[in-house]
Amino acid sequence: MTTALELPAGESLAIGIELGSTRIKAVLIGPAKEPLATGSHEWENSYENGVWTYSLDAVWQGLRASYADLKADVQKTYGTTLTSVGSVGISAMMHGYLPFSETDELLTPFRTWRNTFTEAASSELSELFSFNIPQRWSIAHLYQAILNGEDHVDQVRSLTTLAGYVHWQLTGEKILGVGEASGMFPIDSETGQFDAGMLEKFTQLIADKGFSWDIGDILPSVRTAGEEAGALTEAGARALDPEGDLHPGAVFCPPEGDAGTGMVATDAVAPRTGNISVGTSIFGMVVLEKALKKRHDELDIVTTPAGDQVAMVHCNNGASEIGDWAQIFQEFATQLQGEAVASAAVFQALFNSALAADADAGGLVAYNYLSGEHITGFEEGRPLVVRRPGREFTVGNFVRSQLYAAFATLRLGMDILTQEEGVEVDKLLAHGGMFQTEGVAQQLLAGALNVPVSISDTASEGGAWGIAVLAAYAASGRHAKGEDLQQYLDREVFAETTFLTEEPQEKDVAGFNEFYNDWRAGLAVERAAVENL
């Protein structure tokens, strides 16, 4: 008979929950910040009336399902019911638009980061602030609604993000972590708060509209990593665990976005470190030593959860197209075998074939644009594969072209950062499901960017683990005692972590550059597909 493991005391436990684009994941960590149990729930955005969205009902169904799965894992592993934890953290996909009325009614369906219809607002605000305001930022969505003359705007009394909304419902506090807040409205790096000068410029911009609100009043309060941001209420506990087992009172850290939790999960919060996160979207982030020399529309300036400036290359399209193709291969393999073939086995076979393929992907050119892509100026996307006659059309070349396609738009932005701005990076760390097949995507990414790429043995836990670590940091009281986030991570989290590093291989660097040149030239083909199909 197997004896169940013993669950550590509740006050030493922390829960992190991250609402990603395709999965809501919950992680329970212990005193050593090791994952003790996990839970997850798959979900998908919907495209309704020209808007990418998730319903609030889907948010709560997913949160409860993910927590229930975590709770079941605790029961199975430790033979006990999870009833209390010391701290909790909430993370989610960044940006977007969630405006609420005076009675806390959502005034429009949630407009996610994936929407690319705010170009006019983005352009005008960027000029006004002399600061890049990407289309997906909350302030761009708000101003676009103003430009469109939408009736709901005058009723807005609070504006938040998905992470901020869930945190508010669980704690009663309208708070954001500084990293998440930096994707709503620009942050003043000196104060760690929304930039006062830009708030005033926005107020003057809309003064003639006569709205009954002020921009500074409808934005959430901003907190820094390590600060407490409320506690789990009785209503919040019931919302998360309808069975009634979870006790209220757990300390919450400031809610953060998936960019910030990715930085924590990869130990990339110090200047001259970088982080690549690959999911439905793909983004690269480099913590800056000093401000950039000029504004670049391809680069976003956000912050770490501790408030340090970060240059971010955000691409709307990441691994989704690869996932769709893997599903096709899985379906074929299942029909061929006459029995189900596991998706993990399919991914491993496909990725390994890419590693053995031609360095330039056999002359294949692929575009993974399921949606618009602001860096290359696309408001819509059409996934596309173009091949030249006479070259080997193999599974390996095909899969390598798809992996290269996921990295190509990122390369555009990273070239600006490293070549035009001269930013130096001491280490680049990566995380996301794409890297679960050991060595493949990591090696090809190193070749695509021509820099070493490292992965930690904790990176597969991703942002849910990262926000759980931030929750533990807030509950520890170390911030108040002067221990900053990097010191906490070095001492309490990554002291014994193993990092696996892939150096760029000359053949991969040369091969990707050949693909990249064709890819850039072929953007005209992608545009023709958007315009004609």
Structure tokens, 446: 């190193």
Residue ranges of alpha helices (H) inside 436-522 are 440-449, 462-476, 485-488, 506-521
Going by pLDDT thresholds of 50, 70 and 90, the confidence category of residue 511 is very high
pLDDT (mean) for 381-390: 94
Q: Do domains 95-159+185-218 and 266-316+413-502 have the same CATH topology?
A: yes
Average pLDDT over residues 169-175: 98
Residues ≥6 apart with Cβ < 8 Å to 211: 153, 154, 156
Report d(CA 514, CA 508) in Å as an integer. Answer: 10
Residue 4: pLDDT band with limits 50, 70, 90: low
Q: What are the pLDDT digits (tens) for 211-231?
A: 999 999 999 999 999 999 999
Token pair belonging to 346: 């399919």
For the chain, the 3-state helix, strand and coil shares in percent, each to the nearest 5, are 45, 20, 40
Residue 503 CB neighbour total at 10 angstroms: 11
Provide the residue count of the chain.
533
Mean pLDDT of 44-55: 95
Q: Are 276 and 456 in contact (CB under 8 A)?
A: no
Q: Is 327 helix (H, G, I), strand (E, B) or coil?
A: helix
Question: How far apart are the C-alpha atoms of 93 and 283, rounded to whole Å?
Answer: 12
The pLDDT tens digits of the residues spanning 82-119 come to: 999 999 999 999 999 999 999 999 999 999 998 989 99
What pLDDT is attached to residue 277? 85
Q: Can you state the angle between helices 138-147 and 196-205, rounded to 10 degrees?
A: 10
**What is the pLDDT at residue 103?**
97
Share of the chain above pLDDT 70, in %: 98
- The residue behind tokens 């004609």 is 532
Is the predicted pLDDT of residue 3 greater than 70, yes or no?
Answer: no
- Helix runs in 79-161, H state only: 119-129, 138-147
Q: Are 163 and 180 in contact (CB under 8 A)?
A: yes
Report the first-to-last Cα separation within the chain, whole angstroms.
Answer: 62
Digit-coded pLDDT (tens) for 272-302: 889 898 888 898 999 999 889 999 988 999 9
Residue 1 has pLDDT above 60, yes or no: no
pLDDT-above-90 percentage for the chain = 82
Which tens digits make up the pLDDT trace of 237-251? 999 999 999 999 999
- CATH 3.30.420.40 correct for 266-316+413-502: yes
Read off the tokens for 130: 């002399």
In DSSP terms, 193 is beta-bridged to: 188
State yes or no: pLDDT of 139 exceeds 70: yes
pLDDT at 2 over 50: no
CA distances from 70 to 133, 395, 436 (A): 37, 37, 21
Q: What is the pLDDT of residues 434-458, one digit of tens each?
A: 888 888 999 999 999 998 999 886 6
The CATH code of the domain at 95-159+185-218 is 3.30.420.40
Backbone angles phi, psi at 74, to 5 degrees: -60, -45
DSSP 401-422: HHHHHHHHHHHHHHHIIIIIS-
Lowest pLDDT segment from 1-10, 166-175, 191-200: 1-10
Per-residue 3-state assignment (H helix, E strand, C coil) for 245-269:
CCCCCCEECCCEEHHHHHHHHCCCC
Domain locations in the chain as residue ranges? 95-159+185-218, 266-316+413-502, 320-406+506-532
This prediction's pTM: 0.84
Please check whether residue 72 is in contact with residue 235, taking contact to mean a CB–CB distance below 8 angstroms. Answer: no
* Mean pLDDT, residues 322-344: 93
